[in-house]
Structure formats: C-alpha cells, structure tokens
Structure 1
Amino acid sequence: MRSRSKQRTRCLDIHAPTTAGAVIDHLRFAPVLIVLPPVYALIAAPTRYGVTGLDRMKQRLPGKNYGTAVGDLAEFWNMIDPHSIPSGFDGPSDLESTHDVFFRCKVADSNMETPVVRRGTHQTLILDGVHRSLMCEIEAAFRREADPALFAGNRFSAPLITSCNLSGDPLGSITDPIRGRDFIEGQDVTLWVRESSSTDEAGSYPILELEKSGLSVQREGGSIRSRELYQRFGKRH
C-alpha cells in the first residue's frame, strides 16, 4: 500500500491580486503562514476549526492564547468594556494612529477564559498597508462564520494570529528564513505568503494594554515608548 504523499507547499506574493482569495479559501481548512515585516506568523479562521488548526500546527501547550489581526477597528472597539477606557481616548481613531502594535483590552469579566480571551482580555494586532488590507478582506469573508463564543459572546471576525513557532520553543519567534523554512517543512504548512521588501527591525510586535488608568507596555519593541499615543496615555509611575 502506497503511503500518502505530503501536499505541495505553495508560496504567494502578498501583492498578487489573487492572493487574498487564495488565503481565504485555504483558511477554511488550515492555517496560513504569513511573513510579516519583523516576524513570521500564523493566521487562522476565527472559528473552532481555526483554533484546532493552530493547536495542531504549534503543538500548543496549556495556558497559551491566540490574538487576532484586526481589519475593521470599529468592530474591535465595540467589544471593549467602556469602563476600561481612559478619559479622553478617542475610540478607533486613536487606535488607528498607532499601527504595528498589539492592543490588549478588556472585553469580558476577568474570570472569562477562551482560546482567545485570557482573564477577560483579548489582544489584537493593528497592521498597516498591504498586510492590513489582507486582514480586512479575511475579516469580511468570515463575518458570518466567526464563532462569538471565542470572543466572550462578541461578534468579531478578524483572523486569529500567533507566532510561527512551536509552543514553548526556547528560541522564541521566528525571524529568519532558515528557521522559517524548517517550520514550513516540519509542520506541513501548505500555504505561505510573503513580501519581497525587507525591514530593519526583527522580533515580536510590542503589546500595549489599555486600562482605565492608561496604557502600559506589556512587551517592548518598535520604540513603543516614543509613540505619540503612549506619550499621551502611558501610565506614569
């Protein structure tokens, strides 16, 4: 009996006009690897089967949660507990001013836990340019399929996103082509998306947590403390 051969891996240019459609079709049954400017990442559908696909591909350890990569900031804003927003914070427009950052916000009671909500908070990545445009198309495509239970009962359809590495890998996030290729081959990634341009900075995106008392840095990176939004709303100790 012949063994089943591995599926051929496809690589798409993010600028190609057919890429968004191909990614959306693929997300209906498996995660997609995407090479973001500073780091390799995995995206998946905002559904239970999307979670299952990431769990399998990352060999997920207990206690790990997934974020999202937002398209429509108004939809994300509508999830946020209004009592956790600092005075003077101008809704989606303030979030829009600071891209290439994860925002961690309260979306439910602190005892709520799901694969994408941890202690009542969820974090979403705000990208820019062609990468943000792709997330907008994915979000629109999954609006009817997204699982509200993942988001504590909220309707939100941004794709799930996580670092492209095995859960708990001591080497951390993947930022170089050699480790990226090893992951693609070792974890049977069958679709990945890249852009030809390079970046001067490699590593994970910074995380800002939005609370009533202001913004706090939960992960450094991208000169986050010098950003205008953090200068206005950063907690002062």
Structure 2
Amino acid sequence: MSSIGLSFGENPAGERPRSLTSAVQERLRADILSTRLLPGQKLHIAGLAKQFSVSLAAVREALSRLVADGLVQASDQRGFRVSPVSSADLKDVTQTRVDIEGLALRRSIERGDQEWLSSVERSFATLCAVPHTYPDDPTHHYEEWVVRHRVFHRTLVNACGSQWLLGFRDVLHEQSERYRRLAIRRNTEKSRNVEAEHAAIVHAVLKRDADAAVAALSKHFMTTMHLVELATAKASGGGNAG
C-alpha cells in the first residue's frame, strides 16, 4: 500500500480517524482482530512505518495504545508483538464475558423500553440478511456480517444504563473476537447454526425473560469457546493455542 490516506477507510463507527497515529492504530487493530496478524507475531516498527508511509513515532504511539488495549505486548528487549493466545486466557475471557455481558443484558431487559426492543429486532434482522461466511470460502467471515454481528451484540446490552459496564463489555468482546476468528480459520464452525443461537437470545429478550436470555447468551459464548479449543487442538496436534 502506498500511503496511509489511500489505505485507511472509515472506522467501524463511521468516523474518519483523527490522525495518522489513529489510522495506524485502527488498521493494526483490524488486522489483529481478523487474525491477519497472528497471535505472537512480531511487529516491526520500521517495517510498519514503511508499509503505511508514516513516521516511526506514529507507529510506536499506535502500538503503545494497542498495548493499553491488551492486543499488543511490549518488551524492552524484544520490541512489540501481537498478544499471544492460550487455553487459560480463552477460558478466562469467556467466563468473564459471560459474567459481564450477562449482567448488562439482564439490566437491559429490566430497563429497556419498546424502542430498545425494536432495535434488537432490527439489528437481528439486519444481521440475518447477510451470509455468515463467504460462499466460496467458509474459513473467512463475510466482512459485513462481522460488522453487523458486533452491532447486534452491542444492541442487546445498550439499555443497561452503565457506561462502565458497557466499556468493560467492549474490551472483552474485542478480546474474544480474535479467538472466534481463529475458530473459523480452522473451519470448526461448519456444523454450527449461529443464526439459531442468536434467535434464541432474541426470542427470550422480546419476552423479557432475563433468565432465558442470559442462559442463551452464555451458551452462545461457551459454544464459541469450545470450537476455538477444537481449532487450536487441530492446529497444534492437541496442545494449547499460542
């Protein structure tokens, strides 16, 4: 790619990055979450600066921001690398996400008005309107589905009334996204009916059945965890990821 201006489009929120550093940060974030940059992969500042046609300082600042987000690790002796993955971390991320997002969903069901319920229905219908994976390549998510999937899950908890809770939830979602992408790269999701899993959550939400909704959400997250474990076992011959 020849320049940062030509390489970076709008971010998922639809806003242009405010600076070259922000643009580098968002591109690296996207590449890490999509696993185009693999867990444990070294990130060479000079190479990235050349690739993106920006200064070393811009790349270094972008990487430092991603360290704060937990997506990149820094070492005085070894530089930067994509944060590794592991079975223990996967279980920790998943269980914590079940706890945090389950609480946010329960509060949303208690506090959400009719407009929120309608937004849940709309986001689910929008998600169902695009394929889960590319028809000719089931090992890669259809990119528009990824965007709509993120919006759908965020919509489910938007009425919880706590910015702190939503902030923690967003961090956990981002961490789990890398693991989910690893599962589909190994094609372990081929027998999964993701739409049915989402539908079960929505059905319970629309009935305002908080217990059933949280149970369906937890099952959804745990299914992803088990498929990631299967994927990493296939990749390593039975060992842990990372």
Q: Normalising by structure 1, what TM-score? A: 0.23
Q: Normalising by structure 2, what TM-score? A: 0.23
Q: State the structure with bigger RCO (CA 8 A, min sep 6), 1 or 2.
A: 1
Larger gyration radius, structure 1 or structure 2: 2
- Structure with the higher fraction of residues in helix conformation: 2
- Structure with the higher fraction of residues in strand conformation: 1
